[in-house]
Every structure is written in structure tokens, then in C-alpha cells.
Amino acid sequence: MLKTRMTEMFGIQHPIMLAGMNWVSDPELVAAVCNAGGLGTLALAQYSPEDARKSIRQVRELTDKPFMINQYLLGGWARDNIQVSIEEKVPFINYSLGRPWFVDQVHAYGGKVVGTVAIARHAARAVELGCDAVLVTGHEAAAHGAEATSLVLVPIVASLVNVPIIAAGGFGDGRGLAAALALGADGISMGTRFILTKDSGVHERFKQLCLQATEQDTLYSNAFDGMPGRALKTKKAEQLMKGESFGPLRAVPNALKVKRVLKQSWGQFVVSAFTMMRGEGRRNLLQLATMASGAVRQEKAIYEGNEEEGVMFAGQVIGAIDDLPTVKELVERITAEAEEVLAGIASKVVA
Ligand SMILES: Cc1cc2nc3c(=O)[nH]c(=O)nc-3n(C[C@H](O)[C@H](O)[C@H](O)COP(=O)(O)O)c2cc1C
């Protein structure tokens, strides 16, 4: 049994978290991880506030264990979805890509806030802003890591902050969990590894592509959705990196599709675009169009298994994954392996 500051703070059995993944971390997958003794994180970025509320309630129907929500703080319905989560008193709120304005409101009902960072000094800032824990994303990660790898970033953050640290990016087995603990983290968050389970709803075709891939088969670029991020190396991803297939004309229908998925009125759509242009990230129209196209391409990969038009975020750890266990089997396997590795190392050390 691995007892860490993470298991204590979140009231969970194992120091393993399901990463919040837009389109992927849905109520079923979240509940599967919670019921296996880990921390499930429900991604809200693709939901309207009404759907966010429904999904939060659905998680509660599927599990009585604590869970977390994740929300990008970039336009869309970010403010409203955070408000819904507060009204629903979700025990843990995880944000990324922005500055949290809601820490006091969450603390008021006894909830905790977890800030996602990919740069060490941002971890110190998140703690200054009142975050109770930090999620530290290394360069190996699927989607939006920065330049430093987990091996370098986690110990730097561990020497900077005093709150629990969850390491993300490149973790998929017990050796990784043991290593994260050695680096100063209190547990791990996994995205790619949980995608590759029987319980995840990702299209079978993309699961198979990931299983066949090696650790060299991801690409890191801002061509996928306008922000530096890592995706599975497919023909489409390579074309985007070469700037061959951005297709400005498709940006308009793609933006309209995002509006439809998010169930926004025209007024809300315009306000949301305006907020993103004026807000912290100060995105221009081209970046907004790239984000919209990125979201649509992700949906095509994840739900439709469309290799021609879809792009799926995936981490370097795909190279180490060659099976599709259930979430329960995976969590049990990782914790047992981590315990074995830690005991093995202890027995090798001569004081
Ligand atoms: C398909 C997909 C969607 C993601 N969406 C989000 C998101 O909505 N919010 C977020 O903070 N991170 C998102 N991420 C990043 C993950 O939360 C996590 O940081 C990453 O998967 C960890 O790296 P790993 O894949 O090596 O485990 C996404 C990752 C993937 C693969």
C-alpha cells in the first residue's frame, strides 16, 4: 500500500490519477478510475454548463468516491463550468492554461484546487494563488507540456513548493510511479495509459495505432491546436506540421461545429471569442481558428477513428504500452509493481 500526501489529501487508495482529457475523460472512465481506488478527473472543456452539470451528477451516480473536474481556463464555457462545479460542490477542481479566480469559493465549501503547470516558476505562483496541490506536466506528455521533461521538472518543483505534487507526462507503469516518488512527487497522473484501456471510449482504430507505435512516434508542435502540444504521428499530423493542410477555409465550419458542440448562442460564441482575444493568452483570430480546427480534428480521431482528418494527442509513453487492460487491472498492476520496485531498490542500497 503506497500512502503519500496525494492519497491523504484526496482520500484515495492509490496515488494514481486519471488526467482530465477533453473528449476522453467522461463519467464512465472517471468512475472506473475512482472505483479502482485512484482519482478520476472529469474533463469539462467540451461541455456546455448544462452538460457539465449532468456529467458531474452522472459521475456521482456511478461512484461514491471522491473525484475531480478539469477545465481549461481559456474562453469557451470556462467561467460557467467552473461556477457549475462550485454549485455542485465538486471536491477537487483542476484547472489548466490560465489563472484561477475561484480558489476562495472552492475553499469555502471545503474543496481543493489543483493547478496544472509545465514551467517550474508557475508552480510557485499557483501555490501563492492558493492552490492546494500542483500537477506538473513534463515534455513527454500528450497535449500541452512545455520544454522540460518530467525528470528535470518534478525535482525542481519539489524543491520550490510545499504542497502535494502530482507528476504527469510519460507515466504508465509501476517503475514510472516509483521514479516519480523518488523525484519528489506524491503520485502520478496518466492520460495516454488510461486511453489505452478497455474502459476508455476512444475509437478502437486509434487505440490500435497507439499500440503499434514506438516512443519515437509522437510529434510536438503548435500546429495541432495553436499551442505547443504532443500528438500521435499520423499522416495528418505530419502534414499540419509542414503547414500543408491548415485549410483556412475549413476554419469557419470548424468554428461553427465547436459552437454547436458547446451549445452556444451567437451572442455567447462572440463573447467567448472576444474573451479569448482579450484574456490572459491574448489569442488572435488565426490562433482561435487553429484551436477550433484542432478541437474538431481531435473529435474526429477520438470518436470516429478517422485517420485521414483526425489528430489525437498522445504521449511518448505509447512506446511502452502493448496491451489494453481494464482500468482496475491497470491500477492494481501499477501499484503492485511500484511496491516491488521500491522494495527491490531498498534491498540493493548499502547504507
Ligand atoms: C486526448 C487528450 C485530451 C486532453 N485534454 C486535456 C484537457 O482538456 N485539459 C488538460 O488540462 N489537459 C488535457 N490533456 C493533457 C492530459 O491531461 C495530461 O496532462 C497528459 O495526458 C499527461 O501525459 P501522458 O499522456 O504522458 O500521461 C489531454 C490529453 C489527451 C491525450
Per residue in 248-278, pLDDT tens?
666 666 666 666 667 776 666 666 766 766 6
Does any domain span residue 76? yes
What are the Cα distances from residue 349, in Å, to 29, 151, 245, 340, 343? 39, 21, 54, 14, 10
Residue 177 has pLDDT above 70, yes or no: yes
Residue 246 has pLDDT above 60, yes or no: no
Indicate which atom in ligand 1 lies nearest the CA of residue 194: 27
Does any domain span residue 107? yes
45 lines ligand 1 (CB under 6 A): yes
* Region 317-329 average pLDDT: 98
Does any domain span residue 30? yes
Does any domain span residue 228? no
Give 345 Cα–ligand 1 centroid separation in angstroms: 31
Residue 233 has pLDDT above 80, yes or no: yes
Contact 133, 11 (CB under 8 A): no
Indicate which atom in ligand 1 lies nearest the CA of residue 97: 11
Does any domain span residue 116? yes
Strand partners, 16: 188
Mutate to test the pocket of ligand 1, among 16, 17, 18, 21 (most ligand atoms within 8 A of CB): 21
Ligand 1, atom 11: closest residue by C-alpha: 96
Give 252 Cα–ligand 1 centroid separation in angstroms: 26
- Give the pLDDT of residue 54: 98
Does any domain span residue 227? no
Contact 263, 48 (CB under 8 A): yes
Ligand 1, atom 4: closest residue by C-alpha: 21
20 lines ligand 1 (CB under 6 A): yes
CATH number at residue 17: 3.20.20.70
Mutate to test the pocket of ligand 1, among 82, 195, 313, 330 (most ligand atoms within 8 A of CB): 313
Give 144 Cα–ligand 1 centroid separation in angstroms: 7
Indicate which atom in ligand 1 lies nearest the CA of residue 96: 11
- Give the pLDDT of residue 258: 67
- Give the pLDDT of residue 119: 97
Q: Which domain holds residue 52?
A: 5-201
Q: Measured between alpha carbons, how far is 246 from 254 in angstroms, rounded to an integer?
A: 12
- Give the pLDDT of residue 327: 98
Per residue in 83-132, pLDDT tens?
999 999 999 999 998 999 999 999 999 999 999 999 999 999 999 999 99
* Region 69-91 average pLDDT: 94
What are the Cα distances from residue 290, in Å, to 55, 224, 294, 347? 27, 7, 6, 52
- Give the pLDDT of residue 304: 93
Which positions ≥6 away from 347 have C-beta within 8 Å?
none
Residue 243 binned pLDDT confidence (cut-offs 50, 70, 90)? confident
192 lines ligand 1 (CB under 6 A): yes
Does any domain span residue 278? no
Does any domain span residue 314? no
SS3 state of residue 67: coil
Q: Measured between alpha carbons, how far is 330 from 33 in angstroms, rounded to an integer?
A: 10
274, three cell numbers: 472576444
Residue 284 binned pLDDT confidence (cut-offs 50, 70, 90)? low
Residue 291 has pLDDT above 80, yes or no: no
Number of domains composing the chain = 1
Indicate which atom in ligand 1 lies nearest the CA of residue 313: 31
Give 266 Cα–ligand 1 centroid separation in angstroms: 29
Ligand 1, atom 1: closest residue by C-alpha: 313
Per residue in 25-64, pLDDT tens?
999 999 999 999 999 999 999 899 999 999 999 999 999 9
- Which one has a higher pLDDT value, 284 or 133? 133
